Amino acid sequence: MTDSGLDSEPDHEHLEPGSSRPSATNRADVNREARRLRLHFLQSNDLDAFRRLILLLEAPLLPVAHSLTRELGLALPATQLLADHLAEVFTDLRNPAVDEPDVLGAAEAAMRRLAAQRLESLRAATARGEPRPDLLPVDAHGHVRALAGSRQVGDHFLVVVNHAFHDLSTDDRLLLLAADVDLVPPGEIARRTGLREPMALRRIRKARVRLAAAIAAHAVTMTNTDGSPSEQTYGMSRLADLAYELAKASLMQVPNIQRRIQCVVEPRETPLVARELRHLVRHRETAPAPVDLTGVPSEAPSPSEALRAAASCLRVLERLEGATPRHALCISQIHMFRRHPDRAETQLRALLARPLPAEMRVHGQVNLMLALTKQDKHIEAISLGEQILQDQPNNWQLLFNLAVAHCHLKNRAGFRSACARLGGFLKAAPSDYVLELIRFEVPRFAEEISEDPRQVAAWFGIDAA
């Protein structure tokens, strides 16, 4: 494997755990005896010779079979692959019997062929929509019927992981086997592959992302005994999460977004999320309807296109999971960025009329305060803020929005009170983000309320600089 790309043909010896073959001398001795036993069995039907052949071949060939099943990601014990090959030897009816000087080499080639055949049969059955022999049975809707217990669920998930694993390129499989199964240190992986360590780590991370997407694509829905779904299809749930993350990643391209939204969980880079989303759409097994990715970005959108790209992602999110709270909250933000705070208010009031988790409710209330302020409904915003503060006395966003509303009303007493409370928050829970936001807004506050900026900074309890 070189630094030229993950699709290049790898040197399998680099990442396989140790040598699975006998030493040259031992290999020659094993081959010589195995050749004699094999030919004797085929010519004389001597079952004792066949049993001795099995015992002789087990030690050198089991590690090879183990490496093959792991390399290809087959849900198959290594002993089964070796048994498949020995079964071919046992049923070899060619007459006269064909001599094989290199029994070990022929066995390794045969097991690779058998493993590839199993893999191809599995892929063909999947393409035809046929049930997979090593997956639990599913109904016409792609739902697994009620499982007996957690052990079966665990077994089923392991099979899903195996199927997902063999969807990866050989390079990805070998990297993940080394990093996550054999626990080979990154420096050693870099040495074996000829890569610099940072590049090796980056490729391992990307391989993990591709594996996660493949697992999601292979997952199916569990159902109750009456046939009703007990939970969403994992693949569809993952699709929705990716659409939401991509919407957030697009919003991060809006100018000055960091001063308008505090993103607690930063989204990953747009191309990475977009690739995983498109991979999952291509490989998903069940879906209530086709997923239309029109307008969904593949690269980070330009600032002028950021809102349009985010809106496209949110359309996908709504198609996948309906008008959920997170969808409604994001749509309200886009309305405000587009200078339609009235639409945001309508959206948020409808959201807050629904049963919501406590944290989501606070996010909705903070955004509603902002939507009201942007419509010059400052008295409503203050009333709402003071009401919420009874349960959330240390929420800095509420305190900041209160300061904004009082400032626009030229209410110096209310403004100074909000400043003092926000300054108290900063002393109790220092935050660089909040401090920089206040410093940025101090000149605007000062101009709005006709006060010296240094005095406004003092009301917040911060240095005017």
Reported confidence tier of residue 1, pLDDT bands at 50, 70, 90: very low
Using one digit for the tens of pLDDT, what is the confidence trace for 299-321?
Answer: 999 989 999 999 999 998 888 87
10 pLDDT more than 50: no
Reported confidence tier of residue 134, pLDDT bands at 50, 70, 90: very low
Q: For the chain, what percent of residues have pLDDT higher than 90?
A: 20
Return d(Cα 138, Cα 153) in angstroms, integer: 13
pTM: 0.50
Q: Can you tell me the mean pLDDT for 76-81? A: 75
DSSP for 153-172, written as a single string: HHHHHHHHHHHHHHTS-HHH
251 pLDDT more than 70: yes
Q: What is the pLDDT of residue 123?
A: 61
132 pLDDT more than 50: no
Sign of CA dihedral 169, 175, 176, 181: positive
Any idea of the CA torsion for 304, 307, 312, 317, to the nearest 10 degrees? Answer: 150
Q: Can you tell me the mean pLDDT for 323-349? A: 90
Q: What is the pLDDT of residue 201?
A: 86
Using one digit for the tens of pLDDT, what is the confidence trace for 147-170?
Answer: 334 344 444 455 556 556 766 777
Using one digit for the tens of pLDDT, what is the confidence trace for 252-297?
Answer: 888 877 666 666 667 888 888 888 888 777 765 444 456 788 889 9
Contact status, residue 174 vs residue 71, Cβ threshold 8 Å = yes
346 pLDDT more than 90: yes
Q: What is the pLDDT of residue 19?
A: 35
Reported confidence tier of residue 215, pLDDT bands at 50, 70, 90: low
Q: What is the pLDDT of residue 166?
A: 64
DSSP for 2-35, written as a single string: -TT-TTSPP-GGGTSSS--S--HHHHHHHHHHHH
